Amino acid sequence: MDSSDALLPRPRREIVPGAVHVPDWLDPAQQRALVEACRGWRGYRATRLPSGGVMSVRTVCLGWQWLPYRYSRTREDGSPVQPFPGWLADLGRRALADAYRRPAVDYHPDVALVNYYDDAAKMGMHQDKDERSPDPVVSLSLGDTCVFRFGNTEHRNRPYTDIELRSGDLFVFGGAARLAFHGVPKTLPGTADPELGLTGRLNLTLRVSGLAA
């Protein structure tokens, strides 16, 4: 990115019905606070997939542990999952209301996947389909910019749209886009504002598990 790109406005954009990108939703102070919260959660681990592969992102879960391909109350080692804080649910409701421009008082996320991407990490095209609720997924990005690929509900291939998610950006997918395939083909190392104090990229997705507490 050269300096002139930073001056170009990035408007709110509906990518497909139900999928909305809201650039710069978190201001720098809110981003720093969220990075600090992410540092406080312990136990970022690369997830082992049943296929035998190991994910390149490192993940910590709140509320419920995502184990491919289900949710559990305990982590792989049997320890309890860290709680999903009330302030994060409030943030999710505000995010959804701003993205969809409607009240979101009935949105009650109870699970977060916090993913850390180092310079080499990426995420293949997949659906978020282990939740039993059709409620939207709220995604918040911090640190390095990434290329986020948002596709269709049928398969991993085209049509899809590549979007840059930068630090502070919000992305919501629900409704007709809730089960769309999506992934992160790459991050752009070194693009984070040094004042954020984060090397690499963090992404939080807030979801409604649909599971009984």
Residues that bind ligand SIN (CB under 6 A): 113, 115, 123, 139, 141, 148, 165, 182, 184, 203, 205
Does 49 count as an annotated binding residue?
no
Smallest gap from Cβ 123 to ligand SIN, in A, equals 6
Does 160 count as an annotated binding residue?
no
Which residue has its beta carbon closest to ligand SIN? 203
By residue count, the chain amounts to 213
Contact track, Mn ion, 111-150, x by CB under 5 A? -----------------x----------------------
- The site partner of 65 among Mn ion, ligand SIN, none (C-beta below 5 to 8 Å per kind) is none
- The site partner of 139 among Mn ion, ligand SIN, none (C-beta below 5 to 8 Å per kind) is ligand SIN
Which single residue is written with the structure tokens 């886009």?
177
Which is it for the CA torsion 51, 48, 136, 143, positive or negative? negative
Q: Which of 29, 66, 21, 59 is nearest to 42 (CA)?
A: 59
- Burial of residue 8, with CB atoms counted within 10 A of its CB: 0-12 exposed, 13-18 middle, 19 or more buried: exposed
CA distances from 120 to 56, 59, 106, 116, 185 (A): 8, 15, 38, 11, 10
Three-state secondary structure call for residue 52 = coil
Question: Would you give the distance in Å from CA 3 to the centre of its chain?
Answer: 27
The DSSP call for residue 26 is: S
Q: Which is nearer to ligand SIN, 103 or 126 (CB)?
A: 126
Q: Which is nearer to ligand SIN, 81 or 165 (CB)?
A: 165
Task: Specify binding-site residues for 2-oxoglutarate.
Answer: 115-117, 201-207
Task: Specify binding-site residues.
Answer: 64, 69-71, 115-117, 126, 128, 130, 156, 182, 201-207
